[in-house]
Chain A
């Protein structure tokens, strides 16, 4: 069964940085586009960023562009999200998800990691 496991969340002050990781297993990671999503507590879902299987194509939501950087290491089956200049409104559960090949649907999600931005 496909597994995705996020880590790296925690409490950080406004203006601070955090790096999230997503460890992938039980599928050929290098074949798939991957995305990060987030969900503020009690709120709806928001797409954050996506990266192609090679890492050459990357997109960001306007809300994080210039502050967050998505990357991947296919040799280590890992996805990353470097978050800089964090704001209160970045407080959320962050999920990594696999984009199903050919369908553009996000078929597997991690369990999420909580990022809290607060002074």
Chain B
């Protein structure tokens, strides 16, 4: 199975900050890397697919980059609604696996 390792596991930041979350795969997954946002009591929401493609309706302050095994999610200027948990997920091969999550909290 492909292991996905996210860092940090939690992060405190302020509105307006630039934030970066990293995700590392245990083997190359090409560009089969997606990012999700999840708020308490809600289903995950797709933000970024195929490393860097912005899902329809997602604000442009979200961006993704990387290739092979190392990937990043960047939020250019945090907004109050961005405080949530973020997960990376590989869709290169089954079992599809997720990172352990990064909880983004208000400083």
Contact = CB atoms under 8 A, between A and B. Distances in A.
Interface in A98-112: 100, 103-107, 109-112
Interface in B69-107: 87, 89, 91, 94-101
B68 interface: no
Contact of A47 (B42, B49, B55, B97): B97
Interface in B33-51: 34, 36, 38, 42-46, 49-50
**Mostly helix, strand, loop or mixed at chain B's interface?**
loop
Contacts of B97: 47
A96 to B, nearest CB: 10
B98 A44 contact: yes
A104 B89 CA distance: 11
A73 interface: no
B101 A103 contact: no
A107 B89 CA distance: 13
B65 interface: no
Contacts of A103: 49-50, 53
A70 interface: no
A106 B43 contact: no
B14 interface: no
A105 B46 contact: yes
6 contacts: A45-B38, A62-B95, A105-B49, A106-B91, A109-B43, A111-B42
